[in-house]
């Protein structure tokens, strides 16, 4: 099992480290070819990629936070992520038509 953290943001990488989140590989962009059953993928993936992670038998853990509208588009520090309630939340995403997967 490999845990991937998909982010290009230094603040998110620092937040994960400070939060004790174990990561095997940090990637700026997700390469679906590497995802295997049993892996964990942490990040803020578009829904179609999150669905593909789940279809491959891996777990998708979303980096969720409540960013005020006037903070969107800014580079956030680890402190900012904590202030905006950053947390890891697992989602099982199923694409329409794949309900039996």
Q: pLDDT (tens digit, 9 = 90+) per residue, 73-89?
A: 999 999 999 999 999 99
pLDDT digits (tens, 9 = 90+) for 7-63: 999 999 999 999 999 999 999 999 999 999 999 999 999 999 999 999 999 999 999
State whether residue 59 is helix, strand or coil.
strand
Report pLDDT for 97: 79
Report pLDDT for 91: 97
- Compute the half-sphere exposure of residue 1: CA atoms within 13 Å on the CB side of its CA: 10
Report pLDDT for 92: 96
pTM of the entire structure?
A: 0.91
Contacts of 58 (CB under 8 A, 6+ apart): 35, 36, 37, 38, 39, 40, 41
**Considering just the CA atoms, what is the radius of gyration of the chain in Å?**
14
């Amino acid at each position: 099992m490999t845990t991937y953290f998909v982010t290009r943001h230094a603040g998110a990488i620092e937040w994960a480290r400070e939060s004790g989140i174990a990561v095997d590989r940090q990637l700026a962009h997700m390469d679906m070819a590497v995802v295997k059953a049993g892996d964990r993928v942490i990040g803020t993936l578009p829904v179609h990629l999150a669905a593909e992670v789940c279809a491959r038998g891996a777990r998708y853990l979303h980096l969720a936070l409540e960013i005020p509208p006037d903070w969107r588009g800014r580079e956030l520090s680890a402190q900012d992520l904590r202030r905006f309630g950053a947390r890891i939340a697992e989602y099982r995403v199923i694409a329409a038509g794949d309900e039996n997967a």
